[in-house]
């Protein structure tokens, strides 16, 4: 196995692991909202934390799932034109898109680190409810998610650059496609 293949396999594995791990937040959201509904409508005793906690869980889920979504081509893309392009032109478009995305994400990462650090430094608390949870833990997920997205974006850029250069490489995604085709038969 080449170093490129090993890198792609590790990076794809990281994105998959994070995606599967944060998907469990969905059950947390359901549990919190179910508890809130039962408390409010059956026990006539609403919580002071249910809505805010479910919002925090949803925010973390949404942003941390970004690298998983990128790895599985789940982000919005204008495929109508892209699919009509020759293979090398598609690779060129991907190199440009992922290269620019890395630049934008680097700027966002810098801002996100400052944003989270400031929240931690001042001991910021929410003022949306009397519960007043600390905000720095949820704000810390932003630079973490942007960093994970950058790593997956770099893997996609490597794939695109190799395709553009016409360099053959073993893509771990092909193993996944083969496994999926075997299970569909």
CA–CA dist 154, 142 (Å, integer): 18
41: DSSP letter: I
171: DSSP letter: -
The pLDDT value recorded for residue 20 is: 97
- Sorted by where each begins, the domain ranges of the chain are 3-169
Give me the tens of pLDDT residue by residue for the chain, a chain 185 residues long. Answer: 689 999 999 999 999 999 999 999 999 999 999 999 999 999 999 999 999 999 999 999 999 999 999 999 998 888 888 999 999 999 999 999 999 999 999 999 999 999 999 999 999 999 988 999 999 999 999 999 999 999 999 999 999 999 999 988 888 877 655 444 545 54
CA–CA dist 172, 5 (Å, integer): 7
| Residues 152-165 as b or e (16 or more Cβ within 10 Å = b) | bbbbbbbbbbbbbe
Helix, strand, or coil here: 125?
strand
Q: Which residues pair with 125 in a beta bridge?
A: 134
The pLDDT value recorded for residue 176 is: 56
The pLDDT value recorded for residue 125 is: 95
Asked if residues 67 and 149 have their Cβ atoms less than 8 Å apart, the reply is yes
| Residues 49-61 as b or e (16 or more Cβ within 10 Å = b) | bbbbbbebbbbbb
What is the tens place of the pLDDT at every residue in 40-68?
999 999 999 999 999 999 999 999 999 99
What is the tens place of the pLDDT at every residue in 70-94?
999 998 888 888 999 999 999 999 9
* Predicted model pTM: 0.87
């Amino acid at each position: 196995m080449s170093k490129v293949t090993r890198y792609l396999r590790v990076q794809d594995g990281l994105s998959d692991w994070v995606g599967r791990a944060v998907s469990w937040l969905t059950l947390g959201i359901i549990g919190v909202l179910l508890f809130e509904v039962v408390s409010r409508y059956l026990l006539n005793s609403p919580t002071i934390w249910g809505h805010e906690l479910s919002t925090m869980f949803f925010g973390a889920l949404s942003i941390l799932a970004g690298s998983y979504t990128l790895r599985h081509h789940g982000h919005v893309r204008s495929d109508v034109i892209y699919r009509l392009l020759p293979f090398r032109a598609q690779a060129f478009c991907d190199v440009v898109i992922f290269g620019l995305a890395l630049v934008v994400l680097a700027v966002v990462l810098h801002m996100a680190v400052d944003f989270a650090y400031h929240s931690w430094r001042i001991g910021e608390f929410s003022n949306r409810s009397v519960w007043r949870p600390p905000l720095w833990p949820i704000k810390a997920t932003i630079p973490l998610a942007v960093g994970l997205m950058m790593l997956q974006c770099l893997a996609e850029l490597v794939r695109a650059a190799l395709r553009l250069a016409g360099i053959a490489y073993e893509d771990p995604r092909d193993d996944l496609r083969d496994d999926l085709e075997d299970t569909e038969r």
